[in-house]
């Protein structure tokens, strides 16, 4: 009798999409990048622009994902979601991407433990503001697991969010890392945010989503 082994689910991930585009945010903005978007997220930020990744997707072997990434011959790879760390095998994907020699970044809400993320990965941790409606999900102990090359991101919906961000930077000494702040689309005028940054001089780098200026809200960019 032939015994057929079952697939090792620790080697599989549910993937929404893999695509090659221009990095629109973070310190690697502007670089051609392969994005691996994992399916699923435990948060429901009210401004989320990737809600299509909450459900669906296809189960794929990590080796298959690595092969598709390699087909683009990239230098930069970003693993995103959804919340990629909601799938535990994401940790193995990150490790294998680093082993393959790519410069790897992880876009995460920070609501899930970062302790076991490969230290070679650049973690871009999105701290949730009151305006996101998910501020209670911030896992502040994750600050212990950030390295010098990691980044902290805030999406701001209002002046109240801006003031809250400034308070958190001071309270938690977040300027130990690169702090990025961007306006929530259709909620905060970028010109207002720029004026507040110039007037109050917080230790942050303002950013806009470059890919949306190029392609709009088209999925896969």
CATH code for the domain of 129 = 3.20.20.70
In whole angstroms, give the CA distance from residue 101 to residue 96.
9
Q: Which tens digits make up the pLDDT trace of 73-83?
A: 999 999 999 99
Q: Which tens digits make up the pLDDT trace of 139-198?
A: 999 999 999 999 999 999 999 999 999 999 999 999 999 999 999 998 999 999 999 999
Q: Is residue 221 part of a domain?
A: no
Nearest 5°: CA angle at 14, between 31 and 217? 45
pTM over 0.85: yes
CA dist 157 → 27, 36, 134, 163 (Å): 22, 27, 13, 11
- Six token digits for residue 32: 């051609």
The β-bridge partners of 203 are none
In whole angstroms, give the CA distance from residue 28 to residue 46.
26
Which 3 state secondary structure label does DSSP give 125? strand
Nearest 5°: CA angle at 56, between 10 and 125? 65
- Six token digits for residue 171: 């309270």
Q: Is residue 1 part of a domain?
A: no
- Six token digits for residue 75: 């230098």
Q: Which tens digits make up the pLDDT trace of 19-69?
A: 999 998 898 999 999 999 999 999 999 999 899 999 999 999 999 999 999
Q: Is residue 2 part of a domain?
A: no
Q: Is residue 26 part of a domain?
A: yes
Q: Is residue 220 part of a domain?
A: no
Q: Is residue 140 part of a domain?
A: yes
Domain span at residue 26 reads 9-215
| Consecutive H or E run containing 160 | helix 159-172
Mean pLDDT, residues 99-110 taken together: 96
The answer to whether the beta carbons of residues 187 and 181 sit under 8 Å apart is no
What's the Rg (C-alpha) of the chain?
18
In whole angstroms, give the CA distance from residue 179 to residue 151.
6
In whole angstroms, give the CA distance from residue 112 to residue 85.
7
Give the HSE-up count for residue 219: Cα atoms under 13 Å, Cβ half-sphere. Answer: 12
Q: Is residue 45 part of a domain?
A: yes
The answer to whether the beta carbons of residues 174 and 152 sit under 8 Å apart is yes
Q: Is residue 163 part of a domain?
A: yes
Domain count, the chain: 1
Q: In sequence order, which residues have a C-beta less than 8 Å from that of residue 149 and are 6 or more positions away?
A: 122
């Amino acid at each position: 009798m032939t015994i057929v082994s079952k697939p090792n689910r620790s080697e599989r991930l549910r993937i929404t999409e893999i695509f090659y585009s221009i990095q629109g945010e973070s310190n690697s903005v502007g670089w051609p990048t392969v994005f691996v978007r994992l399916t699923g997220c435990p948060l429901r930020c009210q401004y989320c622009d990737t809600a299509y990744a909450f459900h669906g997707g296809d189960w794929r072997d990590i080796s298959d994902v690595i092969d598709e990434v390699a087909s683009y011959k990239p230098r930069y790879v970003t693993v995103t979601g959804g919340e990629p760390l909601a799938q535990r095998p994401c940790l193995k994907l990150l490790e294998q991407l680093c082993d393959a020699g790519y410069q790897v970044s992880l876009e995460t809400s920070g609501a899930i433990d970062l302790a076991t993320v490969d230290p070679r990965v650049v973690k871009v941790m999105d701290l949730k503001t009151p305006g996101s409606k998910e501020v209670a999900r911030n896992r502040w102990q994750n600050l212990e697991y950030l390295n010098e090359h990691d980044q902290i991101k805030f999406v701001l919906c209002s002046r109240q969010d801006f003031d809250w961000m400034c308070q958190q930077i001071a309270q938690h000494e977040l300027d130990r890392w690169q702090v990025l702040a961007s306006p929530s689309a259709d909620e905060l005028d970028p010109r207002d945010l720029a004026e507040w940054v110039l007037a109050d001089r917080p230790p942050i780098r303002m950013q806009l989503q470059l890919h949306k200026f190029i392609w709009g809200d088209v999925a896969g960019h």
